[in-house]
Chains A and B, each alone.
Chain A
Amino acid sequence: MRRRVSAVAFAVAAVVPLVPLLGGCGIRETDVIEAGGPASVQAFFDREYEMLLFFRSSDGGLSPVIRTTRPSAGFGGEYDEPGSGDQNAGDENAGDQNSGDAAGLVPTEKVVLALLAGPRETDRAAGLGTALPKARPGATVKVGPSSAGRITTRVPLALKGLNSTALRQLTCTIAYSQDPDGQVVVELTGQDGATRSGTCGLARGTTG
């Protein structure tokens, strides 16, 4: 009797390991599996007369937007080109030797003012917005000389009331305006005298 039982137990023990092997027939679900890098698409960004603005996406992250400075390419671009800012930026960038050769073709002051002017119709249609308050008309942006990978910028805003998304919008926009790779430490000074400094850190997507 005992031998019979042990024989049955042996048979069961021999067959049981087969069950997981036979199980999972057909195609099963998987977890999310990483497979290679992202797709690099053509965005036709030309630093010479286009600028990169960072708006807030509907999911809370930052979305880069390319905006041209040419009047012919854009529509309704009349209010983001204050003459005074333009000249200031031109003077500043002409004297800057540390920037890359392609950098600064569109003055940073102009870029920041465009950012502060907020998203346009096309941006809003894609669900983009901004966390920054709208700048008063006639406000000026002062960009200090950049040295050793640092740039100081005075913005016509009170920095204290801004959230992190707003600060990152400013930081990234200024960084990518100054450096093609965005590897610049940006020091912001607000109208209220508060200062914030940081890097963009968006390259290769650490959109945290």
Chain B
Amino acid sequence: MSSGRGGGGGRGGGGGDRARVRAFGLRTRLLLAFLLVAAVSAGTTAALTYREARNSLLETAQDTAVTSFRDHVQQTGFSLPVQEEGLEEVLRDIARKGKPHPWVVFAEYGSLRASSGENPVSTVITPELRRAARAKPHGSFERVVKDGVPYLTIAMPTVFKASPDSLLPSGLVLYAVMRMTDEQVNVDALLMAGRDGALPGLAVSLIPGLIAARSVLRPVRKLREAARNMGSGRLDTRIPVRGSDELADLAHTFNESAGQLECSVRELREAEERARRFASDVSHELRTPLAGMLAVTEVLDEDADGLDADTARAVRLVSAETGKLAVLVEDLMEISRFDARAAELNADEVDVAEAIRKTLDNRHWTDDRIRTELPDGIRARLDPRRFDVVIANLVGNALRHGGAPVTVRLRTEARSPGPPVLITDVADSGPGIRPEALPHIFDRFYKADAARTRSAGSGLGLAITLENVKLHGGTIHAGNRPGGGAVFAVEIPLHSEDAEGEGAGG
């Protein structure tokens, strides 16, 4: 019982470790889901906001630049054809008024190239922009990134008034090239702000994730503990039901099922208890009249010789059957003590060979039907009375059902996991046990030989033997030897402290 509970606890502990180590547990999944949702929403919001803000920032700067460039160009006068001398002066004048940032102004007219800067031709202006400016008299701009620096390039074709309501393209195209350094700084700041906003948002979203995971995991953990408690026999385990969600429903159902289980188990136990008490009571009640009957049959037995033959046979039969009945009642009482777990082990350190020899002597099994291989000096903690019952039952059984000679062999054996064991073999020379009878050989009232329903034994001998061995923490096996004959092997663990004591004694 205690070893079974220990095993259960160990298994439970292993399960807990697994739960803690579990990589894709509920907690991880819930947290990941929360993080994912938070990342998607924060990321989308931040990205959309960033895009809008960046676009409006850039559009404002571009529109300002294009409008102000057009305004400044329109305030300028040119002679046609445009002459190279003085042109740079005019361009520098326009360049000084650059808004929102200073810009470099380039002029292209026929084969004339001039600029307000050092190079007359810009390396930033693209052929596409030139083509667009030449093809259509529209102001146009293009953002160009060169060597990582963003530039705004504006092309402004010029027209002049040929009459009050007629405009003619003059053939002069002015370009402005503006570095968008400030805009880049602002856009980068926006990006940083978006990122700095989204990342703490993600971190903060961990908190509701943890809370949600906790609120789900706590009932689950309680449920697991309760289930384990019920498995180890505490059927009165209940879970506190909190709230009205699905987990509360589950807890409620669990409690109901546990209640029903407890109820049925209690009923079963009570029925079993009643049956056991009945058997015990019956045997007790039978003992007193039997004692009287035994006394009477003994007297009758003694006087049987004086009766006529038929009466004498009847009297002897009654006497023999009464004796068997007395044995059966004794065995029944013994079994009911085991069933009621009232059997106690009165262990004492004994010399095992000596104990077996005493058992055989007491039963007068000292003739050549019994062979013994009993090495001296093996000592073990045993209940002498119960060990005597075990040996007597096995040897009696062998003599009754098997065939002489019966061999009783005693030895010890080391077991790698656990303490060494004391092994007692009882082998007979009979026909052996039928294979189909082997699994039931220790059942109560099981008759291995169907033909002999009325045997000398009570039918409880092997069952009582099994219970006694179990009480010692040992096991018993029945089998057939290859050469014929049944063999019963009793293994009783030699407890470590006893083994040490024995080693010291030996």
Question: Which residues of A pack against B, CB within 8 Å?
Answer: 4, 7, 11, 14-15, 18, 21-22, 24-45, 47, 52, 55, 57-59, 61-66, 102, 122-123, 125-128, 176, 180-182, 202-205, 207
Contacts and interface: CB of A to CB of B under 8 A. Distances in A.
A18 B44 contact: yes
Nearest to A21: B47
B40 A43 contact: no
Nearest to B171: A63
B360 interface: no
B162 A126 contact: no
Closest 7 CB pairs between A and B? A127-B111, A180-B163, A127-B110, A43-B160, A42-B77, A21-B47, A205-B137
A3 B82 CA distance: 76
A205 B135 CA distance: 8
Contact of B48 (A21, A40, A43, A205): A21
A27 B159 contact: no
Given A18-B40, A26-B188, A64-B80, A41 B110 contact: no
A29 B81 contact: no
Contacts of B184: 26-27
A36 B43 CA distance: 36
Interface in B107-141: 109-112, 126, 128-129, 132, 134-141
Contacts of B183: 27
Given A15-B40, A43-B79, A27 B143 contact: yes
B227 to A, nearest CB: 24
Given A26-B188, A30-B142, A39-B159, A122 B83 contact: yes
B111 A126 contact: yes
A102 B174 CA distance: 31
Nearest to B160: A43
A27 B140 contact: no
A207 B169 contact: yes
Given A28-B143, A126-B83, A38 B158 contact: yes
Nearest to B24: A4
A208 B162 CA distance: 19
6 contacts: A29-B144, A44-B77, A125-B84, A126-B111, A202-B168, A204-B167
B448 interface: no
A61 B48 CA distance: 46
Given A32-B129, A40-B167, A202-B169, 6 more contacts: A24-B51, A39-B74, A40-B161, A57-B171, A63-B170, A65-B81
Contacts of B84: 125-126
Given A14-B40, A123-B81, A127-B110, A43 B140 contact: no
Nearest to A66: B80
B136 to A, nearest CB: 7
B159 A40 contact: yes
A165 B392 CA distance: 137
Given A14-B40, A39-B174, A40-B158, A28 B145 contact: yes
B67 A36 contact: yes
A88 to B, nearest CB: 25
A127 B73 CA distance: 22
A31 B187 CA distance: 20
B39 interface: yes
Secondary structure call for the A interface: loop
A181 B166 contact: yes
A75 B138 CA distance: 35
Contacts of A18: 39-40, 43-44, 47
Given A41-B78, A207-B169, A22 B137 contact: no
Contact of B80 (A7, A34, A65): A65
Nearest to A203: B166
Contacts of B132: 32, 34
B139 A125 contact: no
B66 interface: yes
B458 interface: no
Nearest to B72: A39
Contacts of B138: 34-38
B274 to A, nearest CB: 51
Contacts of B2: none
B65 to A, nearest CB: 9
Contacts of A37: 137-139
Nearest to B169: A205
Most B CB atoms within 10 A — which of A4, A39, A62, A123? A39
Contacts of A65: 80-81
Contacts of B63: 35
Given A14-B36, A22-B43, A41-B73, A32 B142 contact: yes
A205 B43 contact: no
Interface string B51-70: 10010001000110011011
B378 interface: no
A55 B43 CA distance: 59
A38 B150 contact: no
A38 B162 contact: no
B250 interface: no
A58 B82 CA distance: 14
Contacts of B80: 43, 45, 63-66
B456 to A, nearest CB: 65
A27 B77 CA distance: 35
Nearest to A44: B77
A36 B73 CA distance: 14
Contacts of A32: 126, 128-129, 132, 140-142, 155
B69 to A, nearest CB: 8
